[in-house]
Amino acid sequence: MARSCAVERPIFTTRKRFGHRFESIPSGVMLTAASYPVRRSVWAGRAREDKEMPLRDIKVVDLTRARSGPTAVRQLADWGAQVIKIERPASHGPESLGGNRDGFDFQNLHRNKRNLTLDLKDERGRDVFMKLSAQADVIIENFRPGVKHRLGIDYESVAAINPRIVYGSISGFGQEGPYSNRPGLDQIAQGLSGFMSVTGLPGQGPVRAGIPIADLCGGFNLALGVMIALFERERSGRGQWVHTSLLESLLTMMDFQAARYLMNEEVPGQAGNNHPTNLPAGVFETSDGAVNIQASADHLYARLCEALGCSELVSDERFATGDDRLERRDELNEILLGYTRTWSSADLIDRLAEIGVPCGPIHNMEQTWADPQVKSLDMDPQFEHPRLGSLKLLGQAINMSRTPETRATATADPGDHNDEILGELGFDSGAIEKLRSDGII
C-alpha cells in the first residue's frame, strides 16, 4: 500500500529547504500535496523484524488518548502496523492520556509504537504533522468532534494532501446530532444506550458493566472500519473518513435486547444472572460455591435433568417448552437448585461436560489466570521495558496460523523517538534542536 506523490519542493514548518539551508515561505502560499513530498519515508526500514506481520506495510499516525482510541490503534499495532504516537511536549505540562504512564492500563494500551511529541496548536507543529500524514495510510483520533477542525488536522485537511488517507474517528455520541459536542465517556454511553437498564438484579436499579465496555467496543469497531476502508482502497485507490462512537457501539452491542424493542416494542428489564429469554441458563449454587449452566435448548434441558437426577421434570407440563420455562423461571430454578446444591462445583462441571451441557466455573482474576485452559491460550505476553523491566500484558484474542501478533516493544516514553522520526523526515540536527528549544517537540 505504498503511496507515491509528485515532488515539487520539500517543506516542513513554514520554511523551504535548499540543501542544509532554509528560507521562509511567503505568507499566503497554499500548501498542497506537492508541498509535503515523500523525500524519504519516515517509515522506511521501520517494518518489524518479523517480515510475516500481516499489517507491516500499514503506516499509522496515532492522536488518541484515554481508552477507546488507543484500543483501536492497539488492534493495528499488535498485528505489525508501523505506529507513531503523537503526544503533547513535556514543556507544555502533563497531558491526561489515561492514568499513570507506568501503570498497568497505559502500558497495556500503548505497546508496539514509536513516540513523537508535537505541539499541534503551533503552525510548525501542524506542518510536521502534515508531513507525516502525507506518507501515512491511517490516522486515528478520538477528540471531541470540533477539536480536529479547530486544530486544522481534520479529514478534509489531510485528504487534500493525501487522498489515500484512511482517517478514523471515535467520539462519545457521534460526529453529528444534538449531543455530538458534549464530552462523552464510557459510563455515560452505558446509560444512554440502555445498557445499564438491563444489567444487574431485578429491581436493583441501573448497574454499569465491570469493564469499560463502550470504550472497548468503540475501539474494536473503529479498527474493523479502518480495515474495511483499507481493503476498499485497494480497489478504488482512495481513502475515506471512518467514524463511530461509544453510543453507536453500545447500541449495536444491545443486539437482541434492542431488537426486542424495535420489532416488538418490548422494553427489556434486568434479569440478573439469568438469561433474559432462555431457561434454564444462569448461576446455580453448589455445595462449595456456584457455577454457570446454560441448558435452555430442549435436548440440553433433558440432559441436565437426567444428570441431576430429576428427569421427571422433562415430562412435567409446567416446564414442557421454552416459553413455559421462561414463564415459571423462579419456580424451575428453585427446583434445580435443590439438586445442584448437592454437588461440588468441580464434580458438577465435569459431569455436565461429559454429556455436552455447557457449564463452567465462576472465577476471580487470580483463578482465571491459574486456570489450565487460560494458560494454554498464551494470552499474557511478556514485554521488556527499559525502565520497568519485564511486564506481563494482555494479548490478542485472534489466532492466525501464519502471522501471529507481535510482541515487539513495550510502551515508549514521551519523545523517545523525536530525533529518529524527524531525522527520517529530513530535519537536520540544528532544525530539530530549534523545534525542541521552541517547545514544538
Of these residues, 78, 127, 186, 215, which one is catalytic?
215
Return per-residue pLDDT of the chain as tens, 441 residues.
433 333 232 322 223 322 333 333 333 434 455 556 544 566 654 444 556 799 999 999 999 999 999 999 999 999 999 999 999 998 888 777 678 999 999 999 999 999 999 999 999 999 999 999 999 999 999 999 999 999 999 999 999 999 999 999 999 999 999 999 999 999 999 999 999 999 999 999 999 999 999 999 999 999 999 999 999 999 999 999 999 999 999 999 999 999 999 999 999 999 999 999 999 999 999 999 999 999 999 999 999 999 999 999 999 999 999 999 999 999 999 999 999 999 999 999 999 999 999 999 999 999 999 999 999 999 999 999 999 999 999 999 999 999 988 888 999 999 999 999 999 999 999 999 999 999 999
| CATH fold label, 281-363 | formyl-coa transferase, domain 3 (3.30.1540)
In terms of DSSP bridges, do strands 389-392 and 382-385 run parallel, antiparallel, or are they unpaired?
Answer: antiparallel
What cell numbers appear for 6 in the block?
509528485
Output the pLDDT for position 113. Answer: 97
Give the residues across from 256 on adjacent strands.
none
Mark whether 215 is an active-site residue. Answer: yes
Output the pLDDT for position 170. Answer: 98
Output the pLDDT for position 350. Answer: 98
Residue 218 CA to residue 173 CA, distance in Å, equals: 11
Residues of the chain with CATH 3.40.50.10540: 11-252+413-437
Residues of the chain with CATH 3.30.1540.10: 281-363
* pTM of the entire predicted model: 0.88
Output the pLDDT for position 41. Answer: 64
For 11-252+413-437, which CATH class?
alpha beta
Instruction: Reduce the secondary structure of the chain to three states and give it as a string.
Output: CCCCCCCCCCEECCEEEECCEEEECCCCCCCCHHHCCCCCCCCCCCCCCCCCCCCCCCEEEECCCCCHHHHHHHHHHCCCCEEEEEECCHHHCCCCCCCCCCCHHHHHHCCCCEEEECCCCCHHHHHHHHHHHCCCCEEEECCCHHHHHHHCCCHHHHHCCCCCCEEEEEECCCCCCCCCCCCCCHHHHHHHCCHHHCCCCCCCCCCCCCCCHHHHHHHHHHHHHHHHHHHHHHHHCCCEEEEEEHHHHHHHHCHHHHHHHHHHCCCCCCCCCCCCCCCCEEEEEECCEEEEEECCCHHHHHHHHHHHCCHHHHHCHHHCCHHHHHHCHHHHHHHHHHHHCCCCHHHHHHHHHHCCCCEEECCCHHHHHHCHHHHHCCCCCEEEECCCEEEECCCCCCCCCCCCCCCCCCCCCCCCCHHHHHHHCCCCHHHHHHHHHCCCC
Output the pLDDT for position 326. Answer: 94
